[in-house]
Structure 1
């Protein structure tokens, strides 16, 4: 309906503009025809008369020259003027000047063609008559041109006024139509805008809204009302879901046995659950907990990286009711588009009992391993004495069985050594007998210890130490145990005739000790898990071992504030390494 009204309102304007255009075309065509006629008739007549006057003047000169005896020049002037007279007789035979012109031409022909005597007294009057008649004709034509131009100018002025008036009327009509249509369109839009503002302010009830028209805008209004109703329903369901989620979170936090706190961007406590409230009622956040957590809290706010501690060395310890409690913190960041609304969430997992159990486990493992080690050593010595036939000769079967038992006891002894080393390194403060030692001395000691084992397997064992490496602060026995575990594994898994390199070199600001072999190697995924306790690659599980050697190397490196790593080599083999700080930057 609104579209129909728009078309109906625009028809008069469009029709008027079309009439103006047709009128302008018609007047332009008439003006062009009048100008063409004026140019052809009047300006052509003037031009022809001017040529006739010029020809008459030339003919008069020719006659004068003839009378003076200049026959040759006279003939030339005569020949030049005659075509103009011929053309005049052809185009204007009925003109008032034609008889006089014919007499002049007859007189000239008699002189030049019949050789009559030149009589100038008859010539001059004819030329004067032609001049007077010609000038009169030119003046008359000029008057006609002037009057015609004035008429055309008047018509053009009238045409201009008509076009301007039509344009003004069209503009007025367009304004009226636009105003009426704008009122039709803007009235419902204004009403929609008012209700949109109300919806933006949270007033979802627009049941009092009534469509203001019955045309196309009514569909827009109805669609708006329907959209508002759906948004209202969605908002109700969303609020209900948010409230339900909030209640769930509050129930979880309130019933969680671990303390949970949230810090705002000003590092103030914004929320605490009942467990946190109970804890902070006994210990001070500012003096007991915050100093142990501030560095990691700042890291959360700066980087947004979540921190989930898994190492007992990262626990937070507080004294509560004469009891030392241990908490393992978990940090998360609650992001927001506004910096001042970012928060840090902190969950303190109470691992007091778990830590006590772990310490008890470590003590028990160390005690049991130490107690078992003594009889194992005695049994090993007894078996060696029997195998050396100090107590008498042995049959071949007896010797094989005793050798198998001795090998099993040796493997058991190595396992007990691993357990003892793990228990020592997992202590709260591992006792390290640190000394300054050169990398060359460390590498040489390990290579010398295993040169015979490599030679027995026909493996080429080489070492490479970069020159002028600084010394490192290490527990010499512990670091040699770590490199020995690397080297013994390399010899165990490398094929006969392969090559193993033990090296020490500079790696950025650290000193890297490593072992490169040509064994079967590991995948990238396996290299990331190989330092976990009791981990063994699926391809190597048939080989002797329990998966503790590399975890011991990791504990040794961590005890020295260093790190470990494994790089799979192409096409085969691995590069296992320990990185330590040099003495200059320790």
Structure 2
């Protein structure tokens, strides 16, 4: 039952009590009024008639006495209400008629006696009816007292309990609200009723339960972790910029704010490409995202738009003062990471935004430049004595100097081999120094793939023959020329063949094939050696990485493939390892097709 219905029922109940008490009182008052009216109407009036008739008898000499007697007698005859009153009235009528005819004094006496009896009858009736009225009044007083007391007790109980029925739930609700405001979410209200107060209590308990679940839920911990991550982002030394899926800036830490030279309040919530129109650094940072459709911004598409490693190095002026108290130009690497999340109930992740990280590598770059300069200097300085050693060896082999015995000739050959290895090592170091310093000098032109293949096979023919290896070439007729630096393209192919000769078992073959693919020409070198382990395939083009052989030992300097990758990339080509080949290894590089042929390098240049 609703609260409104309960209050209405209570008021109806009170009204019914008042109505019952009033009705009972009116009933008995009406009974008393009827009894009093009966006394007045039936008896008191009769006594008045009798008294008037007695006065008329006492004054018969008056001319109006008989007329008054007749009048009152008629009235009495019309008001015969008590038992015996009619007989007495009739007797008075007979004697009055007799008295008028004979004027008998005895009739007068008899009339007086009859009137006295009539008076006595009415007086006794009055006494009797008075007793009845007293009994009625006493009975009315008893009933009214009983009913009134009962109604008083009921109303008193109602007055005592009903305000509490209204106030207690409100007091309980107020107490519960105070507990909730004090973060005591385990508080519950115990109001067990089916009215609005009960519904309010159930709603309050449901709210408290949900607040308690929220307080102990993962969401609360996630929000706490978010605040902690925000703090970590603020104190990080790297520049960090967060974008949503629509490329609007969500957050930016102080380092990125300092490098961009724009206050973060002017950046948060704005469309990044709009700001990039007037900020060169931001335009450089999001250049991979500016041309991307928002519906096709997946991780793979971002990876395809990332610039090469060399172009990913940014030189930015940092106004933050260093030890000298001034700002300086620093080196940073850019990293764009898409943020993908899986919504609840879904298995397919959706793009939620991007994070751009500017990592300060100034100290590493300075060390790297120092290392590069040192290697270049040492390598350059070593070439002069090595060239002198090779010249001395040639002089020793000249018969004009004198013949060498067998032991001396063996020693000269060993010195020559070691000198060639040192010359190759210094050449690789010089090439790597050129790559690391960003000073790769290219002379791009059109060169025939057949000439490059012919030179590379001739350069490695002696080494292959020493291991009884056969180099099989497959160059289709009419293969188009490629646009490349002939010296560096030949160097890469010679490096591929040299590695294949070194890792191939004796009496095996090496396959060198050239064929066009789309707008490029692919050079592929495949051997049938031990191959490269799956865990090492992603690192073969890293600098100074040397994949271990079958005996667990590494060979080479770890620079050849790294230099090859830089050369091919600089010429606009592509280099890689074919992971589908498991019995051996297959390296390839692709160069764009050109039109004009170029000279083939000298063997001395490659060496």
Which residue pairs with 2:334 in the alignment? 329
Decide whether the 8 Å contact of 2:396 with 2:402 is kept in 1.
yes
In the aligned structure 1, how far is the partner of 2:394 from the partner of 2:186?
A: 96
**1:551 Cα deviation after fit:** 1.7
Which residue pairs with 1:190 in the alignment? none
Which residue pairs with 2:13 in the alignment? none
In the aligned structure 2, how far is the partner of 1:569 from the partner of 1:459?
A: 23
Residue 304 of structure 1 pairs with residue 298 of structure 2: yes
Query: 1:313-335: CA deviations, max 9, x gaps?
Result: 21233345584333211222344
**1:479 Cα deviation after fit:** 0.3
Residue 546 of structure 1 pairs with residue 546 of structure 2: no
In the aligned structure 1, how far is the partner of 2:246 from the partner of 2:580?
A: 49
Which residue, 218, 229, 234 being the options, matches 1:254? 234
Decide whether the 8 Å contact of 1:206 with 1:225 is kept in 2.
no
Which residue pairs with 2:433 in the alignment? 423
Decide whether the 8 Å contact of 1:554 with 1:564 is kept in 2.
yes
Which residue pairs with 1:270 in the alignment? 250
Which residue pairs with 1:193 in the alignment? none
* CA pair 245-468 structure 1, distance change in 2 beyond 3 A: same
The 5 Å alignment of 1:436-455 reads: 436-455=446-465
In the aligned structure 1, how far is the partner of 2:490 from the partner of 2:440?
A: 16
The 5 Å alignment of 1:290-439 reads: 290-298=282-290, 302-305=296-299, 311-320=309-318, 323-335=328-340, 342-386=352-396, 391-394=401-404, 396-439=406-449
CA RMSD for the aligned pairs? 4.0
Residue 522 of structure 1 aligns to a residue whose secondary structure is coil
**1:564 Cα deviation after fit:** 1.4
Which residue, 554, 559, 564 being the options, matches 2:575? 564
Query: 1:5-60: CA deviations, max 9, x gaps?
Result: xxxxxxxxxxxxxxxxxxxxxxxxxxxxxxxxxxxxxxxxxxxxxxxxxxxxxxxx
Decide whether the 8 Å contact of 2:464 with 2:470 is kept in 1.
yes
Decide whether the 8 Å contact of 1:561 with 1:580 is kept in 2.
yes
Residue 435 of structure 1 aligns to a residue whose secondary structure is strand
* CA pair 370-456 structure 1, distance change in 2 beyond 3 A: same
* CA pair 319-544 structure 1, distance change in 2 beyond 3 A: closer
* CA pair 388-528 structure 1, distance change in 2 beyond 3 A: farther
In the aligned structure 2, how far is the partner of 1:441 from the partner of 1:287?
A: 49
* CA pair 521-264 structure 1, distance change in 2 beyond 3 A: closer
In the aligned structure 2, how far is the partner of 1:451 from the partner of 1:325?
A: 48
Which residue pairs with 1:76 in the alignment? none
* CA pair 485-222 structure 1, distance change in 2 beyond 3 A: farther
Which residue pairs with 1:192 in the alignment? none
Instruction: Indicate the larger mover: 395-404 or 477-486.
Output: 395-404
In the aligned structure 1, how far is the partner of 2:431 from the partner of 2:236?
A: 38
Counting matched residue pairs gives 380
Query: 1:507-541: CA deviations, max 9, x gaps?
Result: 34421011122223233333332222232332256
In the aligned structure 2, how far is the partner of 1:455 from the partner of 1:402?
A: 22
In the aligned structure 2, how far is the partner of 1:515 from the partner of 1:265?
A: 44
Residue 216 of structure 2 aligns to a residue whose secondary structure is helix
* CA pair 458-265 structure 1, distance change in 2 beyond 3 A: closer
Query: 1:411-465: CA deviations, max 9, x gaps?
Result: 1111111111112233325210111112222222222332333334332223211
TM-score (norm: length of structure 2): 0.55
Residue 356 of structure 1 aligns to a residue whose secondary structure is helix
Residue 232 of structure 1 pairs with residue 211 of structure 2: yes
Decide whether the 8 Å contact of 1:522 with 1:574 is kept in 2.
yes
Query: 1:459-515: CA deviations, max 9, x gaps?
Result: 222321123332211000000000001111222222333222222112344210111
Instruction: Indicate the larger mover: 410-419 or 448-457.
Output: 448-457
Decide whether the 8 Å contact of 1:501 with 1:517 is kept in 2.
yes
* CA pair 412-316 structure 1, distance change in 2 beyond 3 A: same
**1:244 Cα deviation after fit:** 3.3
Query: 1:173-221: CA deviations, max 9, x gaps?
Result: xxxxxxxxxxxxxxxxxxxxxxxxxx9xx997873363448xxxx9xx9
Decide whether the 8 Å contact of 1:310 with 1:328 is kept in 2.
no
**1:277 Cα deviation after fit:** 2.2
Q: Which runs of 5+ in 2 are unaligned?
A: 1-179, 264-274, 320-326, 596-607
* CA pair 235-317 structure 1, distance change in 2 beyond 3 A: same
Query: 1:293-342: CA deviations, max 9, x gaps?
Result: 23323559533317698924212333455843332112223446699993
Which residue pairs with 2:82 in the alignment? none
* CA pair 349-412 structure 1, distance change in 2 beyond 3 A: same
The 5 Å alignment of 1:419-498 reads: 419-498=429-508
Decide whether the 8 Å contact of 1:510 with 1:582 is kept in 2.
yes
In the aligned structure 2, how far is the partner of 1:496 from the partner of 1:204?
A: 80
Residue 510 of structure 2 aligns to a residue whose secondary structure is strand
* CA pair 267-389 structure 1, distance change in 2 beyond 3 A: same
* CA pair 442-341 structure 1, distance change in 2 beyond 3 A: closer
Which residue pairs with 2:281 in the alignment? 289
In the aligned structure 2, how far is the partner of 1:229 from the partner of 1:513?
A: 72
Decide whether the 8 Å contact of 2:285 with 2:356 is kept in 1.
no
Residue 441 of structure 1 aligns to a residue whose secondary structure is helix
Q: Which runs of 5+ in 1 are unaligned?
A: 1-198
TM-score (norm: length of structure 1): 0.57
